[in-house]
Structure 1
Amino acid sequence: MERRTREYLSGRFGDYYRRSDTPVPPAAADREWGHIPFTEGEGTTMVRHQSLLDVAGGPEQLGEFLARESPRHVYFSAARYDDPSNRTMAQKGWRSADLVFDLDADHLPGVDPETDSYTEMLRECKDALLDLLDVLTTDFGFGDDELEIVFSGGRGYHVHVRDPSVRGLDSEARREVVDYVRGIDLDRDGLIEKRPNDRGTLQKTLRAEGGWGRRVHERLLAYTDALLNADEETALARLQELDGVGEKTATTIYGVLQNNPEGVRSGNVELGPGASTLIRALADRVLAEETAPIDEPVTTDVRRLIRLPGSLHGGTGFVVRRLDREVVDDFEPTRDAVAEQFRDQRIMVEVTEPGPVPVGNGPSDDSFTIEGGTRSVREFVGVFLLARGRAEKAAE
């Protein structure tokens, strides 16, 4: 990054903070704070092991500090400490930590950063976010007021759980949470148990009361409806697409579904010899489609630094946006995370890496193509290109 580019971004980041109200997290004075300034050269320098008192003089002065220093990135700790500015981690006096989840578009299964566009990856990441939120609210019972949803400003999303009941969890307990959310080592056969029926005999029953058993049961109901709404030949063919289900087993299962659909709705899975095979196959589909591929080290690290909502991401210029649950579905990062301060004017940039620009300024409102050389662009487009290292600031 050339000096002119660095000075321009630093100046405009400072302008953003001067005109913005950057909120602080709960217990802000008990957390460690860190930031990365705009520095010369290719490397970055993290300034950390600071309390908010060290950084800004207190929560009320955070905005003044950000406007004055105009950092490239801003972070705070998920943890709360007795002495957050102590440079020795063991002597900080760890008290507790928020339960934090990170979804990174680059790490999602089925996403290829080499071929998928930035916008496409972010859309896949939002689908993963919705799966995560469903697990956290439905399976764990966290309310919307206990979750803070944040667009990271870069490649994904963060979710902070601030329920007091989870703040004291150690790394091992948090790893168990990760395993559940990702469906790791789910006992597929254990989803079925034998329970007494009203005749006093034992019958195979799906654990459908909650958790992954409930999700598999919902998938079984949808699968049953699809089979019964199809003609018999189609239904039998679909059943035989499942591993381990041949013509005879498919016929047995289909007959039971036809004769006792209400039993299946109650969780009764006495479907003959193919019951376990059917449940395992549907469980595999549920795990493939409904688990959230969260970044395990972020959740298990009880001392993690995480981006400050309301700050700017120095690699894109986007706002690290806090999102209410009701707006997540319609949220488009490359449009809705653009800072208002960067929308009004045009700037000159020297484009060094031409190609698609995934910022809301083109025919599809999320991408357009820019050619190399000196170009006049809307400022938020220029900030994105400069921050990504795809352009340098040109003389006006």
Structure 2
Amino acid sequence: MSVKFHEATRENRTSYYNEEWRIKDVPDYILETLSKREFGFDHDGTGPKDRYNRFESPEALAEFLQKRAPYAVYCSVSFYEKPQNREGWEEAELVFDIDAKELTIKSCCKIGEVCEICLDNAKNVAMEVVRLMREDLALEGIYTSYSGRGYHIRVHDKDIMPQDSEVRANIFDYVRDRMYTSPKDMQKPPALLFDEERKVKDVLERTVPFSNLTKEIMKTLIRDGTSERLILNVPGIGKTTADKIFGNSQDIMEWMDNNSVKELRKLLGPKNTQNFLEHVYMGYINLMDAKVTVDTKRILRLPSSLHSKISRKCIHVEDLKNFKPEHEAVPKFTRDEK
């Protein structure tokens, strides 16, 4: 079932910023770098056209938000000497943007819509991205926020923040491919200028199963034969091969648990196996937007601000595993309307 979103009115926004929002809801990693960030505002739902804003103090930001009650609030991932001019670039957060509405293999709701299952899948992606950056790349200072229809991951790692777009693209490619690729096809993590105390793990030396998300998408495709329409969308797979997949669904899931692609190849043949796995890969890869990771001039929604298009709070998330957006991200004015 799709999540019921509705657009916030001017009165809703004013109520939110004056009665519910507090400056302490803005995470410390934002407040501590406030004067170095560019702020952007959307005042009418047409996009963040009001840019090049700087706030010297939390109190100044609070006064602006409570007085103007903007439609959307954004802040830069980059730190500048003069953020009001976007001059004197110093460094930038490494960012991953995960958008639930981009999930294309699902039986829970229509493509382009978002439901609780979609949001849960997006959360699974976010958890896997965080895990890979911590365990494989030894990155530090990783923060997560709920963005309304997905998650933003911001990394404050001293070795990464000064890096250019090329290094950021390499990290994105590694994380994206590592979430899917079997160990024998993996490349080593990108060189990230780590010192001797922080050597990157060689993932080729250990067995890494398919990610939980890959398994969930597999289940969606082969669950009880009810998803024939979905599986027939896989290039090269017709009714005969689809029946073979449905008839061996339990075996296929066991093979995925054991990271055994060769058994799948025996069942489907090399070409169909490649098509099947690539389709699964593409089914969730669009959840992560590479352009956001690479672009150091990007602005993202401010954690604690209101996503007025859907009337949800964008909030910093401490415990991602147990986070429930439909309980924790619903503003008071929406709850009062029920």
Report TM bin, short chain: 0.5 to 0.7
User: Are 2:333 and 1:342 aligned?
Assistant: yes
Higher relative contact order (CA 8 A, sep 6+): 2
User: What SS does structure 1 have at the residue aligned with 2:67?
Assistant: helix
Q: Which residue type is aligned with residue 73 of structure 1?
A: A
Asked if the contact 2:41/2:71 (under 8 Å) is kept, the reply is yes
Aligned partners of 1:181, 1:237: CA distance in 2, in Å?
26
Q: 1: CA distance between counterparts of 2:210 and 2:146?
A: 32
Deviation at 1:286? 9.8
Structure 1 Cα separation of the partners of residues 127 and 211 of structure 2: 17
Match of 1:231 in 2: none
Q: What is the alpha-carbon distance in structure 1 between the residues aligned to residue 207 and residue 184 of structure 2?
A: 14
Query: RMSD over aligned Cα, in angstroms?
Result: 4.0
For the pair 1:240 / 2:239, whether they are aligned, the reply is no
Which position in structure 2 is the counterpart of 1:121? 118
1:96-245 aligned at under 5 Å gives the runs 96-111=91-106, 113-114=110-111, 117-143=114-140, 146-152=141-147, 154-183=148-177, 209-210=202-203, 214-215=207-208, 240-241=266-267, 243-244=269-270
For 1:178 and 1:137, locate their aligned partners in 2 and report how far apart those are by CA, in whole Å: 14
After TM superposition, give the deviation of residue 317 of structure 1 in Å: 2.1
Q: Which residue pairs with 2:53 in the alignment?
A: 50
Q: 1:318 is matched with which residue?
A: 312
Q: Aligned letter for 2:322?
A: D
Matches within 5 A, 1:24-35: 25=30, 26-35=32-41
Contact 2:103–2:111, Cα closer than 8 Å, also in 1? no
The aligned residue for residue 256 of structure 1 is: none
- How many angstroms apart in 2 are the aligned matches of 1:158 and 1:241? 39
The answer to whether the Cα contact below 8 Å between 1:82 and 1:95 also exists between their aligned partners in 2 is yes
Structure (1 or 2) with the larger CA radius of gyration: 1
TM-score (norm 2): 0.66
Determine the structure 2 residue equivalent to 1:83: 82
Q: Secondary structure at the match of 1:306?
A: strand
TM-score by length of 1: 0.57
- 8 Å Cα contact 2:102-2:286 kept in structure 1: no
SS at match of 2:25: coil
Could you tell me how far apart the structure 2 residues matched to 1:332 and 1:149 are? 14
- Distance in 2 between residues matched to 1:115 and 1:218, nearest whole Å: 24
Q: Deviations over 1:331-353 (max 9, x none)?
A: 221222123x437xxxxxxxxxx
Is residue 2:306 matched to residue 1:303? no
State the distance in 1 between where 2:91 and 2:23 align. Answer: 30
Superposition deviation, residue 19 in structure 1: 5.1
Say how many residue pairs are matched: 267
| Alignment counterpart, residue 8 of structure 1, candidates 8, 11, 17 | 11
| SS of residue matched to 2:125 | helix
Structure 1 contact 77–304 (Cα < 8 Å) conserved: yes
Identify the residue that residue 232 of structure 1 maps to in structure 2: none
Q: 1:18 & 1:237 partners in 2: Cα distance?
A: 54
1:279-327 CA deviation, whole Å, 9 max, x = no partner? x999979967997942101100011101111111111222111111xx3
Residues 126 and 151 in structure 2, CA contact (< 8 A), matched pair in contact too:
yes
2:101·2:111 contact (CA, 8 Å) conserved in 1? Answer: no
C-alpha distance in 1 between matches for 2:264 and 2:67: 64
Give the Cα separation in 1 of the matches to 2:167 and 2:103. 24
- SS state of the match for residue 82, structure 2? coil
Q: Secondary structure at the match of 1:35?
A: strand
Preserved contact between residue 92 and residue 296 of structure 2 (Cα < 8 Å): yes
Residue 52 of structure 2 corresponds to residue 59 of structure 1: no
CA displacement at 1:160 relative to structure 2: 0.5
Secondary structure class of the residue paired with 1:166: coil
SS at match of 1:334: helix
Name the amino acid aligned to 1:64: E
